[in-house]
Chains A and B, each alone.
Chain A
Amino acid sequence: AQSVTQPDIHITVSEGASLELRCNYSYGATPYLFWYVQSPGQGLQLLLKYFSGDTLVQGIKGFEAEFKRSQSSFNLRKPSVHWSDAAEYFCAVGAFGGGADGLTFGKGTHLIIQP
């Protein structure tokens, strides 16, 4: 069965500091990996996704993620956070091109930005 682990439930970062959110996955085939962000009361916004190619993926809002097959990880990074980055972040895994299982999400990491 596919699964995603986000080990950090909450992370607090000072504005302007760097950020890394951890994600580990378990998947029986080639994984299709995603990071989504959800602001309070809002829907899911796709930050970036990875299926193949360069293992360092650039996304929107200055985020990037690195796929490491040997570690089954897909960590999200940002060099300098802004107060507007405070939100819930979800890592997800699924099959390329959909399928019955859809996406499996991690439980999310709540990012708090300190002034």
Chain B
Amino acid sequence: DTAVSQTPKYLVTQMGNDKSIKCEQNLGHDTMYWYKQDSKKFLKIMFSYNNKELIINETVPNRFSPKSPDKAHLNLHINSLELGDSAVYFCASSQTGQGGYTFGSGTRLTVV
């Protein structure tokens, strides 16, 4: 069983479209995250969410919105996609009071 799974692995779409990336964790963790890795390989946190509170990195455009249907899922919705949104997006999870962060394998988004 994959601990943190993301789908799809690859996503190619046109500018202006709306798309979603799904993330599921089966670790029972209470906190989930989305990270963006840009073309220069820099990894930056976009959101953290722990059932009660959503923390948004102030640099993230409001076209990006995380949605959590339950504790095990944190999906990423992106509206009106732009060329600059092309990147690899990683989902991750952790448990309050315990060590470790577990990452998914990433979703490579290409906007054309």
Residues of A within 8 A of B (CB): 32, 34, 38, 42-44, 49, 51, 88, 90, 92, 94, 96-105, 107-108, 110
Contacts and interface: CB of A to CB of B under 8 A. Distances in A.
Contacts of B101: 34, 94, 98, 102-103
Contacts, number: 69
B83 interface: no
B69 interface: no
A97 B94 contact: yes
Nearest to B99: A96
A102 B104 CA distance: 14
A98 B98 CA distance: 7
A97 B40 CA distance: 28
Nearest to B43: A105
Contacts of B90: 43-44
Interface residues of B, number: 29
Contacts of A90: 43
22 contacts: A34-B101, A42-B105, A44-B106, A97-B95, A97-B98, A98-B29, A98-B31, A98-B96, A99-B48, A99-B96, A100-B31, A100-B48, A101-B45, A101-B55, A102-B33, A102-B48, A102-B92, A104-B45, A105-B44, A107-B41, A107-B42, A108-B41
B58 to A, nearest CB: 12
B41 A100 contact: no
B99 A49 contact: yes
B103 interface: yes
Contacts of B97: 97
A101 B47 CA distance: 9
A107 B38 CA distance: 11
Interface in B21-45: 29-31, 33, 35, 40-45
